[in-house]
Amino acid sequence: MSLLDLRTCNLGQEHIAHDHAHHQLILATCGSTELEVAGLGDRVTGGRGCLIPCSFHHEYEGDGCNRTLVLDVPLAAVTEMRDGEGLQRLFERPRFFTVPARLSRLATTLMAQLEQFPALHSEIAALLLRAIYLHLESEASAPAPVSRRRPLERIDIGRLDAWIDRHLAEEIRVERLAALCALSPGHFHALFRELMGITPLAHVQQRRLEHARALVRHSDLSLGHIAALVGFRDQGSFSRAYRRHFDGTPSQERRHTEATAESGASLHELRASIAPSHVLV
């Protein structure tokens, strides 16, 4: 049988973009990796895996503290394996999938076996691939659950906010946010508005301004520098947006903060200067 290449690795904080002439399965036992393939974006974690068919361009960047299983599957291996037709279906399209606890435990066990018996990596890989195939087949045949929490299930606001906060200085487009949720831009926009009551870009603007307010209040950075850090093209547009959102300019906010701090310091100094002899008994 053609060799299945299974290996453990740590995906570092480096942006990688490529494609290859083999299928690929990616799982993690800890940590996370941001990955995008064919317009789909998600994180590979202990509870989320990814299947990448051959020749599909993909990009990824790890968190630097992950333990990741990468399985390369040559095209010839698929046809040679038992139920090769089913395995071909497994890689018929790029997809992210949920990794249940039992499958995550199996991946952790197999990772330990791989490290202990590297010569058996092809056999261990075949077992892992078979387990993934059976899991996804059973998941596909199960009736779809009826749920009233459709927006909450498809959009993880905490994860989106964490991604937005890391990219405030950049242009953030709805298409990128939709890809992180594995949704089309139109579907994502509708679900997001239903969930949050505002548009995705209005939400991004709020995140920019809330971070800017913290910097205005608690740093000595110039307003121009703050504007750039949170993604405004110039200080003027930053000040106008800030005034609309907070009913005051950044300069006014900073002066008020400084005055409040000086007043508090003066009061503290006054109290400290009062000696016991000044207190009337």
Examine the pLDDT at 279 and tell me if it is beyond 50: no
Residue ending a domain, among 141, 172, 194, is 141
Long-range contacts of 131-135 (CB under 8 A, 24+ apart): 131/103, 131/106, 132/25, 132/49, 132/51, 132/90, 132/103, 133/83, 133/86, 133/87, 133/90, 135/97, 135/100, 135/103
pLDDT mean over 113-138: 86
Residue 27: CATH number of its domain: 2.60.120.280
272 pLDDT band, cuts 50/70/90, is low
Number of domains, the chain: 2
pLDDT band at 274 (very low <50, low <70, confident <90, very high): very low
What is the pLDDT, as a whole number, of residue 276? 44
Q: Is the pLDDT of residue 2 over 60?
A: no
Structural domain that includes position 43: 5-141
What's the average model confidence in pLDDT over 153-157?
79
CA distances from 94 to 17, 40, 57, 63, 180 (A): 16, 8, 10, 22, 14
Residue 279 within a domain: no
- Mean pLDDT for the chain? 83
- Provide the token pair at 150: 């459709």
Q: Of 90, 114, 141, which residue is a domain's last?
A: 141
Residue 113, beta-bridge partner list: none
Tell me: do 129 and 160 sit in the same domain: no
Same domain, 104 and 128: yes
Residue 274 lies in a domain: no
Q: Is the pLDDT of residue 24 over 60?
A: yes
pLDDT(128) > 70: yes
pLDDT(267) > 60: no
Split at pLDDT 50, 70, 90, the class of 125 is confident
Nearest to 41 by CA among 235, 184, 218: 184
CATH number, position 160: 1.10.10.60
pTM confidence score: 0.53
Tell me the one-letter amino acid at 202: A
The residue type of 180 is: L
In a domain, 280, yes or no: no
Distance CA 60, CA 210 (A): 29
Residue 149 pLDDT greater than 80, yes or no:
no
Task: Say whether both 137 and 167 belong to one domain.
Answer: no
